[in-house]
Amino acid sequence: MRRSRKVKILATLGPASSDEVMIRKLFDAGADVFRINMSHTDHDSMRTLVGRIRKVEEEAGRPIGILADLQGPKLRVGKFANGKEELTVGQTFTLDDNAELGTSSRVHLPHPEILKSVQEGHRLLIDDGKLELRAVKSDGKSIVCTVVAGNKISDKKGVSLPDTDLPVGALTEKDRKDLDAVLETGVDWVALSFIQRPEDLAEARKIAQGRALLMSKIEKPQAVARLAEIIELSDALMVARGDLGVEMPIESVPGIQKQITRAARRAGKPVVVATQMLESMITAPVPTRAEVSDVATAVFEGADAIMLSAESAAGQYPVESVATMDRIAQQVEKDPTYPGIINAQRSQPEATGADAISLAAREIAETLKLSAIVTYTASGTTGLRAARERPQVPIIALSPILATARRLSLLWGTHCVVSPDAVNLDDMVERACNVAFNEGFATGGDRVIITAGVPLRTPGSTNMLRIAYVGPEGKGSR
């Protein structure tokens, strides 16, 4: 099944979309990768979902990626004697290490790392920013605050700390158990929540040992400040606009989204734009005009993928949400301004042979109006380089390794096909032309350009370009 767009769609599974029939409907509607949110999924349910996705993949005959999204450190206040309290702006309110039930003047904060790290002047945002506190005194055991905005607080509400760098890693004990579980099932991507610093990826990388690729969710100011370092150590990024809009001024989020998207594109790392893209479709069959424009902006920016969260996981119209996103993306990519915008954001290639070959392949394919770029890739690196160029022609990624094809299903403009490895150069040309023909990218008499590494099966050795004619039966010729 060939998609009629280059940007990919990532759909979250949940109560509204957990059975095999619905997963197949979402795939048919346009979902390329499925997200399993470990904040709401136990291990048995996760294994069931992975099994159902793999059945759909087998039936569809096309690689499907799976992203497991780890919860990360969830910071919450304790409970109140009355369940909730009314506060007034200007009053003093304390968060402390006292486990007693909260009152209108204090509440337990069961996170000693926060009590020890918050300094005078730091902001504490409660319940997604609905209540803003500012620290006036902190002694490691309690934080005395002034209420700056908002007037309500209740049991177990979340705490965000936009000004505080916490001396803890991104993986909690729950995350470690979840990570072990998802790696055993063979998921393709693991998303790490609340990354603050590049070092936060080290533990997950050590545990994963290459069994899955790591996606850093950028949702904290500390991560934005060290974005370049985090990109270097990540396999992909996600612009997690929900928490990002809590911890940073909400008006700054669009600009940060563009910064992250463009930085990831320069580095050749996939980037996903997520959260509230079609939020109104949780309860409505059509989106707002503003939401359509929001999705379109991400597509114009050249994001690799755009993501649905509650819209597909718990909403009333999961299939309609995916289909709507698919239509928006297709229309944007047909817009006459789209190629110019994508080309204007293209960055210079790195000084490597693989990047030079990928650049040359794009320029040749566009100049000669070839039907497709066919790239052989075992590790996925050649596919990444090809997608980084954002060519106007389709990219067909051929890999003998199913896991590689699944991972590349997240990449912009990349149609992944699992194919037995070529035995020599002539066989490589033959296979490339045959796949381009059978997958509907070329007809008899068309030409494709082929990139690969010689000698074959040598990771990262992309060093060959070949233009080939597609014969009437999909046969290849030089």
From 5, 6, 24, 35, active-site residue: 35
Task: Round to whole Å and give the CA distance between 329 and 321.
Answer: 12
123 catalytic, yes or no? no
Alpha helices in 234-380 (DSSP H): 241-247, 253-267, 289-300, 310-313, 318-334, 338-344, 353-367
Chain length of the chain: 478
Task: Round to whole Å and give the CA distance between 200 and 319.
Answer: 36
From 275, 324, 375, 381, active-site residue: 275
Nearest Cα neighbor of 421 from 386, 455, 389 is: 455
Would you give the distance in Å from CA 245 to the centre of its chain? 17
Would the CA dihedral through 199, 200, 206, 212 be positive or negative? negative
275 catalytic, yes or no? yes
From 217, 385, 388, 390, active-site residue: 217
266 catalytic, yes or no? no
The two structure tokens encoding residue 60: 């569809």
CB 53 within 8 A of CB 21: no
The two structure tokens encoding residue 168: 């803890």
Q: SS3 for 404-436, per residue? A: HHHHHCCCCCEEEEECCCCCCHHHHHHHHHHHH
CB 332 within 8 A of CB 293: no
Burial readout 320-341 (b: 16 or more C-beta within 10 A, e: otherwise): bbbbbbbbbbbebbeeeebeee
CB 121 within 8 A of CB 143: no
From 3, 76, 176, 466, active-site residue: 76
Element (H, E) at 207: helix 200-208
Nearest Cα neighbor of 239 from 225, 220, 226, 222 is: 220
76 catalytic, yes or no? yes
- The beta-strand segments (E) located in 102-198 are 106-108, 123-126, 131-138, 142-149, 152-154, 159-160, 189-192
Query: Which strands, in side-by-side order, build the sheet including 92-96?
Result: 106-108, 92-96, 142-149, 131-138, 123-126, 159-160
Q: How close are the terminal C-alpha atoms of the chain, in Å?
A: 28
Q: 157: how many CB neighbours lie within 10 A of its CB?
A: 19
CB 299 within 8 A of CB 329: yes
Q: 155: how many CB neighbours lie within 10 A of its CB?
A: 15
Q: 140: how many CB neighbours lie within 10 A of its CB?
A: 11
Catalytic residues: 35, 76, 217, 275
